[in-house]
Structure 1
């Protein structure tokens, strides 16, 4: 069954995914106070903003996976690619906003988050699957 058909069969899940994507979009284009997310994040590896990107896109990857009820590897990869493309598109929009900026590291954090969210969806779907 194709993903669009699955979205039509699960309008509530689709609405949750679209709503979450809208929240991510709005949060990505509104002005932020200068220096609000520049401190180092957990583990001191990258800035807090990269963690916010990764966590936000993990949630989006999970909700999109759930909306299309991704089961197989190809379906999960498609969901992750859609979420990563959405994140890249938002970064391109930010490039033209005077109060935001484009960042390759942000794109990477979005992709990593989408992959983690897709993997979480697979784990939840596997656990919730009835055993025969």
Structure 2
């Protein structure tokens, strides 16, 4: 059994990266209503804000990995670039927050962002061993994922 997933046109993949990055920027700059009302995330083990950081930067890393999946570079170079871009974006956001009155600069948040990126890159590497991507330029190109 092989799983085949579509690789949509690059402009659409890059648009997804820009959208994810913009959402992260927005919620990093504008305090959300009710922020601070949740103290812990699932299972009560980790602060809720850390879960949000982890998921946001894992999502950014996955969209970046998908966007550059068809690169001519070796996988390790692409995944290293994905990791570095994701962590660099997280550091930039933290530096931006340092100058905002309602936000705080935290090295711990940068570490959680990096952990999210590492998890996503590792999962992407595992996924690509079992999934084959095919070019899908139009809706008619979409196939049944499992054959």
TM-score category of the 2 structures, normalised to the smaller one: 0.7 to 0.9
Aligned partner of 1:22 in structure 2 is: 22
1:97 is paired with a residue whose SS is: coil
Aligned partner of 2:91 in structure 1 is: 88
CA gap 1:21/1:37 in 2 versus in 1, 3 angstroms: farther
Alignment RMSD (CA, Å): 2.0
Bigger Cα displacement from structure 2, 111-120 vs 26-35: 26-35
CA shift for structure 1 position 75: 1.3
Aligned partner of 2:114 in structure 1 is: 111
The higher relative CO (CA closer than 8 Å, separation ≥ 6) is in 2
1:46 equivalent to 2:46? Answer yes
User: Quick one: distance in 1 between partners of 2:95 and 2:44?
Assistant: 27
> Could you tell me whether the CA contact under 8 Å between 1:25 and 1:90 is conserved in 2?
yes
Which is richer in strand? 2
CA shift for structure 1 position 128: 1.1
CA shift for structure 1 position 115: 1.1
1:129 is paired with a residue whose SS is: strand
What number of residue pairs does the alignment pair up?
122
> Could you tell me whether the CA contact under 8 Å between 1:37 and 1:49 is conserved in 2?
no
Q: Which runs of 5+ in 2 are unaligned?
A: 1-8, 134-147
User: Quick one: distance in 2 between partners of 1:120 and 1:25?
Assistant: 24
CA shift for structure 1 position 125: 2.0
- Structure number with bigger Rg: 2
User: Quick one: distance in 1 between partners of 2:42 and 2:101?
Assistant: 29
Cα shift readout 1:29-73 (whole Å, capped 9, x = no counterpart): 002357526512234443110111001111111000110116611
Which is richer in helix? 1
CA gap 1:37/1:79 in 2 versus in 1, 3 angstroms: farther
